[in-house]
């Protein structure tokens, strides 16, 4: 069973359509990348899931149940626009936010103890937020998001405000949470982290979902059957269905050529052909990056 189902959800603000018949499914223990340009409707969708706003149409199901107020206790949400009460002490703040998520006093205290120990910030308990650095504040913010052991974690640009060391720390936490069975919705513009973390991806543009599926399938579907070959020998000349898209000479005097197989055939056939002509030093298929897919998909929709 899916942990979260978004079924045919639409939302508009006056004249503006923010979401149009969007459907998604997220299963237990996966990292789901919710991608899209600014203003595409990602934040609106997230706000509907977190019950901040209501959908005009459509249904949200959590573990098969229609969205209801109690569900906020199974969701942890780290908004892009985030902050803390600046004058409050770290401990008080975390206690308050944990209790708003429905934990009782002793439970909240235990969980917070666990997390601040893990992040080695125990000595900050009585420090005011405004006295902490930006990175430290982000750690506290992250703890406040996960303190109630949510089944669904929604992270909107989670790495902004972190230095590379702390970003790694948070990334490891995210992966660990996933391994413990937490489903994570991950919204970001940083494609390298999508590449690295996400199992499943949905792309939203202009209020509509334009792409949805497991990351590897999407990559498979978008590959162009192009191969990079490094070799010694004369310049290659190939007949159809092969086409040469670029040629270069490397520093070690080897040549590098990118070949596109327009027939989308077996790469072994190409290797056989090449082996007859030149001395092959390396052969690899070019898999498009998520960044390339993102850009080409969005442009295709906007121009087509």
Partner 1 sequence: MDKIWLILQREYLTRVKKKSFIIMTILTPVLFGAMIFFVAWFSTKKGDKKVIEVLDDSGYFEKKLKSNEEVNFVYIGGDLEKAKADFEAHGSFGLLYIPKIDIDKPDGLKLYSGQNPSFDLVNMIKGQVSEEIRQLRIADLDIDETMLDKLNVDVNLKTLNMTETGEKESNAGVNFGIGYIASFLIYIFIFLYGAQVMRGVIEEKSSRIVEVIISSVKPFQLMMGKVLGVAAVGLTQFVIWVILMSAVSASASTFTGINELKDNPAVTRGADVDFDQMENNEEIAGIFRAIENIPIAQIISLFIFYFLGGYLVYASLFAMVGSAVDSEADSQQFMLPITIPLLLAIFSLGPVLSDPNSQLAFWLSMIPFTSPVVMMGRIAYGVPGWEIALSMLLLIGGFILTTWVAARVYRVGILIHGTKVNYKVLVKWFFQN
Interface positions with partner 1 (CB under 8 A): 13-14, 47, 50-52, 54, 56, 69, 72, 75, 77-79, 81-88, 96-97, 99-101, 141, 144
If the CB atoms of residues 44 and 257 are measured against partner 1, the closer one turns out to be 44
- Sign (positive or negative) of CA dihedral 210, 215, 221, 226: positive
Q: What are the structure tokens assigned to 275, written together?
A: 């082996």
Contacts of 284 (CB under 8 A, 6+ apart): 227, 228
If the CB atoms of residues 160 and 254 are measured against partner 1, the closer one turns out to be 160
Q: How near is the Cβ of 7 to partner 1 at its closest, in Å?
A: 19
Q: How near is the Cβ of 89 to partner 1 at its closest, in Å?
A: 10
Letter string b/e over residues 87-112, b meaning 16 or more CB atoms within 10 A of that residue's CB: ebbbbebbbebbbebebeeeebbebb
Q: How near is the Cβ of 129 to partner 1 at its closest, in Å?
A: 9
Q: How near is the Cβ of 83 to partner 1 at its closest, in Å?
A: 3
Q: Are the C-beta atoms of 182 and 175 separated by less than 8 Å?
A: no
Q: How near is the Cβ of 42 to partner 1 at its closest, in Å?
A: 14
- Distance between CA atoms of residues 231 and 281, nearest Å: 5
Strands 226-232 and 208-214: unpaired
If the CB atoms of residues 108 and 293 are measured against partner 1, the closer one turns out to be 108
Q: Are the C-beta atoms of 287 and 215 separated by less than 8 Å?
A: no
Q: What are the structure tokens assigned to 296, written together?
A: 């080409």
Q: How near is the Cβ of 128 to partner 1 at its closest, in Å?
A: 11
CA distances from 23 to 46, 115, 184, 202, 213 (A): 13, 34, 17, 10, 12
If the CB atoms of residues 134 and 272 are measured against partner 1, the closer one turns out to be 134
Contacts of 179 (CB under 8 A, 6+ apart): 29
Q: How near is the Cβ of 69 to partner 1 at its closest, in Å?
A: 8
If the CB atoms of residues 87 and 232 are measured against partner 1, the closer one turns out to be 87
If the CB atoms of residues 144 and 193 are measured against partner 1, the closer one turns out to be 144
If the CB atoms of residues 104 and 123 are measured against partner 1, the closer one turns out to be 104
CA distances from 234 to 41, 208, 267 (A): 52, 49, 21
């Amino acid at each position: 069973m899916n942990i979260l189902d978004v079924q045919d959800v639409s939302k508009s603000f006056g004249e503006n359509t923010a979401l149009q018949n969007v459907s998604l499914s997220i299963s237990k223990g996966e990292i789901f990348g919710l991608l899209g340009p600014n203003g595409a409707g990602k934040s609106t969708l997230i706000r509907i899931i977190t019950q901040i706003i209501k959908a005009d149409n459509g249904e949200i199901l959590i573990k098969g149940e229609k969205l209801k107020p109690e569900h906020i206790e199974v969701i942890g949400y780290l908004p892009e626009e985030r902050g803390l009460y600046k004058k409050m002490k770290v401990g008080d703040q975390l206690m308050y936010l944990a209790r708003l998520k429905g934990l009782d006093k002793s439970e909240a205290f235990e969980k917070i103890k666990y997390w601040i120990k893990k992040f080695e910030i125990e000595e900050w308990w009585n420090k005011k937020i405004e006295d902490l650095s930006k990175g430290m504040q982000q750690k506290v913010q992250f703890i406040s998001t996960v303190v109630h052991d949510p089944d669904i974690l929604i992270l909107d640009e989670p790495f902004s405000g972190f230095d590379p060391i702390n970003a790694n720390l948070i990334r490891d936490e995210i992966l660990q949470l996933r391994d413990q069975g937490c489903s994570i919705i991950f919204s970001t513009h940083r494609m390298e982290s999508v590449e690295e973390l996400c199992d499943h991806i949905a792309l939203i543009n202009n209020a509509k979902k334009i792409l949805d599926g497991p990351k590897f399938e999407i990559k498979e579907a978008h590959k162009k059957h192009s191969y990079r070959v490094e070799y010694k020998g004369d310049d290659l000349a190939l007949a159809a269905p092969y086409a040469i898209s670029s040629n270069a000479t490397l520093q070690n005097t080897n040549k590098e050529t990118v070949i596109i197989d327009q027939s989308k055939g077996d790469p072994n056939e190409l290797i056989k052909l090449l082996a007859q002509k030149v001395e092959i030093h390396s052969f690899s298929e070019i898999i498009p990056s998520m960044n390339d897919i993102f850009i080409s998909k969005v442009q295709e929709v906007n121009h087509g």
